[in-house]
Structure 1
Amino acid sequence: MDFLTARGDVDDIVGRLRAWLSLADTAAPGLVVETSGSTGAPKRVLLRRSALLASARASAARLGASGPWVLALPPSYVAGVQVLLRSLLADHRPVVLDRDGWPDDDGWFVSLVPTQLTRMLESHDDVEALRRAHTVLLGGGPIGPALRARAADLGVSVVATYGSAETAGGCVYDGLPLDGVAVALGEGGRIRIAGPTLFTEYVDQPAMTAEVLVDGWFHTSDAGRFDEDGRLVVVGRVDDVIVSGGLNVPGPAVAARLREHPAVAAAEVLGVPDPEWGHRVVAFVVGRVPLDELRDWVGQEQPRAWAPRQVVMLDEIPLLPNGKADRQALLAVVGSDA
C-alpha cells in the first residue's frame, strides 16, 4: 500500500507535502497519521488527500479567511499536519513557533490545546502575539468556559474545535459542523460523524475499521448532546463514565467542576479498579486542596455520590506530545493494580 507518512522534522514534512500537493489526484497516495494514544496504543489512520483538502477548505470557509499558520503542535499528529497543509494551500511558508517565534504581522492562524493556551495567557508577550492572530483554533481536550472568557477578556479570538485524526482534524467549530459534515447521536449519546473528511481505514486493522466505519458514518468513542441552539456539546468519552458502586459517574463533568475551584490549576478524573466499589473515582489535581473540601465542592453543584473518593496531588498533569492528558501515566501514579 502506498501512503505518505507525517514523520521527520518539520522541513522534511513540508517538502513532502509540497510534492504531494503537486501530484495529480489519481497519483496522490493517502497520508498516514497516528492517533494520540491517550487511552492505549496509537492507531495509524489513513486519510485520502481529498479528505484533508475538504477539511482545509471547509475550515477556511467557516473562518472567512485563509493565510499563514503557526505550528505550535507536533507535526506528526493531524492537527500539526493540517497547520502545515493549510499554510501551503494559502501559499505561505508555515511558521514554526519554537524556531521562528510569533509573526510580527496580523491576521495569521494557530492551533493550540487548552493547556497551551492556559499557559500562554499568563505571558504578556504571548498574549500580545495572540491578539494579532485572526483565530486561535482550540481543541484536543475539554475547554472550560473560564478559559474562553479569559481569552476573550484579553482580546484573543478563540474558536473551539472538535474532531480527531479519523475526521482529518477538527470538523465541528463552536458546536456547529463544517459545511458538508453531518453529526448525529447514537445510543448513549455516542457521537457519529459523516462527510468528506472521514478517514479511509486503520492501517492493517480491518476489523477495527469495520467496527467504527459503518454505512458512511464514523462512530466515535465520545458522548455528546445538543444544546438548545442545536450546537454539539461533547460530554466526554463513552468509556469515561465510571461505574462506581453501581452508579454511573461522568468523569469529565466531575473534572470540569474541580477545575472551577479557585485553588485548582488543572484536574483530571479517572476510574481506578477497586475491590469494594468496582471502580473508585480518583481526581488528579494540580493544587493543594484537602479531599473533604474538594468533595464538598463537587457536591455543591453535582450529586454528592459523584465526588472523588481519592485525590492525588500533582505538580502538573502529565501530557502526551499533542497536549492531551496522559491517562496511562496518571493511572500508573496510583499503582500497578490500576
Structure 2
Amino acid sequence: MANRYFNETHEEVRRNIRRFVDRHVKPHINEWEEAGSFPRELYPLAGEAGILGIGFPEAYGGTFEGDVFMTLVATEELLRAGSGGLFSSLMSLGIGLPPVAKWGSPALKERVVPAVLRGEKIMALAVTEPGGGSDVANLKTRAVDCGDHYKVSGSKTYITSGIRADYYSVAVRTGGEGYGGVSLLLMEKGMPGFTTGQPLKKMGWWCSDTAELFFDEVVVPKSNLIGVENAGFLMIMQNFEAERLGLAVYSNVLSELAFNEALAYAQGRHAFGKPIAKHQVIKHKLADMATRLEASREFTYSVGARMQAGIPSLKEVAMAKNFATATSDYITYEAVQIFGGMGYMRESLVERLYRDNRIASIGGGTYEIMNEIISKQLGL
C-alpha cells in the first residue's frame, strides 16, 4: 500500500489498526451483523488503541491532527473488516465531533472531546430531517431563544449512533429562513423532552445503530452553542467536505474487497472444463473492475492531497465521491454476478458489500447534489 501518499508512520499505524481489527472485530463481525449490533465495549478498546483520536487535537487526547492521510488509513483498515455498519457507528465521532473540536468553547471542548476520544462517550451528528433530506438550508427544527437557554422542538432522522450516543451535534434554526438562520447545538442524552425512536431497519449497515430523534421543548443551555449563533450552515458544509472524502474512501475499500473476493472465486470456480476466470466474459469483467478501482483510488488520493495542502476542493471532492460511488456500484454488482447464486447468499461477503455499498451515493449529499455542486463550480 505504501506509495507517494503514505509515509512510514502511516504504514506503522496501518499495521497497528489491522492488528486491532484482526483481534477484536473480524472474529465476531458476522455474529454482530446478524444480531444488528456490536458491543459498546469496542469503543473504549478503540480509544485505548488510539484509533478514535486520529485527526483530533493532541491537547484533548487526539493524534495526527490535520493529517488527512492518517484519517484515510484508519478508514481503510477498519473497513477491511467487511462491515460498513461497524465502521459507521464506531466512527460516528468522525462527523459528530469535529464541530465541537473546531468551534466549541474551551469549556465545551474540555467536557466533551477527551471522553469521546477515549471511547467513554459516543458522539453523533444530527442534521437530516424527515421532510428535508439534502435541503439542509431549510431545516425546521427550531431553537427558541429564552435568555440563558434555548428551547428546542423538532425531529431528526437517519441518525447514525442515534440511540447509543451520549452527545449530539444538532443542527437547529435559531434565526430566519435559509442557511443564515442555522446554528449547531450540543445536545445530551437524558435532557428532558429529548427521546429516540426504535432502531431503524435498513437494507445494509445492519450492525449500525440508526434512529430518529425527537425534541419536545428541550432546554439547552446557551453554553452548549457550538461556535457563533446562525453560523451553523458553514460549519456543516465544512464538515461535509471531509465526510465526502471519507465516503469516497469507503466506496473504494468496498470495491477493493469485492474485487478481491470475485477474483479469488473466479480463479477457483470451474465451469465448462476450466476456471471461470479463464472465460473471456469473466476475465473482461475483472479487467474492467480492476481498472475502475485503480482510477478511483488514485483520484481520491489526489483530492486528499489537495485538501492536505489546504487547496479549496469543493468541486473535486464532490467529483471524487461521485466517481468512487459509481465505481463501487459497478464493482459490487459485478462481484455478485460473478459469484452467481452464491453471491446472493448471506454467507458471502460480496452479498453484504453489495448492500452496504448502496448508501454511499446517498449519504453525505446524494449523487445528484454532488452534480449540482460540480455544476455550480463550473459556472453553470
Q: TM-score, normalised by structure 2?
A: 0.25
Q: TM-score, normalised by structure 1?
A: 0.27
Higher helix proportion:
2
Higher strand proportion:
1
